[in-house]
Amino acid sequence: MDMKKYLPALLVVLLPILAFAEDLKRADGTTFKATVVRAEPDGLVVQTDSGVEKIDFVFLSDELQKRFKYDAAKAREYRANQVVAHQQAVSQQISQQMAAIRAQAQAIDQKQSQLPSPQEAERRIQIEKSVIFATATIEQGTSKGVRAGLTVLNGRAAATMLDKDTRTTTSLGDGFIYGLEGAAGESWQGKIYPAGYFHYTDSFGEEQTVRAYALTVEDAITHGADGRGPSVPSVDPTAVQRLLPSGLRGGTLLDK
């Protein structure tokens, strides 16, 4: 039989029997009943009726000191090392706590930095108020969006046969809608938000400027919306002159 296989199980059974309680003597001559759990360089760890405790060798009898080979110098060295180890553990714990506090502070700062400023919040509100429900007749599709003729429906439909239908269609002219996909000739209807102006070159090689819109408030902010709604874009007079017949260029028509 291979006893090595059964040694761990035998130890579990025998250790409680071997670790029996005994009468231990203190330095003042009194005795107490306890089981020695382990010996350390500066004292004994014992199990008593009150629980587990450690008793320094200086408080134990000379017999116990000799039995467990107590050495005062080694005991002092052991305690000094214990103090250093404890200080290192405390220092490491403090460092970990400080690192956790710094990480939490950074997370809070990052979260706060992502919050909009009062000016940005007001800008978002103004953009949301400028929303338009429009119909777009797409003239040209691009990778950024579409250029389209835009119209809006004003008034309201007749609720009954006796009511008057007051709906009218108003043209917003040409505009560019960021993020919308479509081909020339297709129609689209939905909410759009003012997003500044869009510049492009037409088929004649001339630079044109139209009002720009976006499908979301975020895209409107990204593309430079000012939150004031659609307005007539300012046009460079020289650009206007380039569109006039050659005989009218030079400011003659504008002077009139």
Alpha carbons 67 and 233: distance in angstroms, whole number: 101
Q: Is the CATH number 3.40.1800 carried by domain 3-70?
A: no
Bigger pLDDT: 183 vs 238: 183
Cβ–Cβ < 8 Å for 95, 60: no
pLDDT band at 84 (very low <50, low <70, confident <90, very high): very high
- pLDDT score at 13: 46
- pLDDT score at 203: 83
- Tell me what the pLDDT averaged over the chain comes to: 80
Torsion of CA 14, 16, 22, 27, to 10 degrees: 110
Q: What is the mean pLDDT of residues 87-105?
A: 94
Alpha carbons 40 and 55: distance in angstroms, whole number: 10
Domain ranges in the chain are 3-70, 76-115, 122-154+168-255
Q: Which two tokens stand for residue 218?
A: 């975020």
In the predicted model, is pLDDT for residue 233 greater than 70?
Answer: no
Alpha carbons 174 and 199: distance in angstroms, whole number: 12
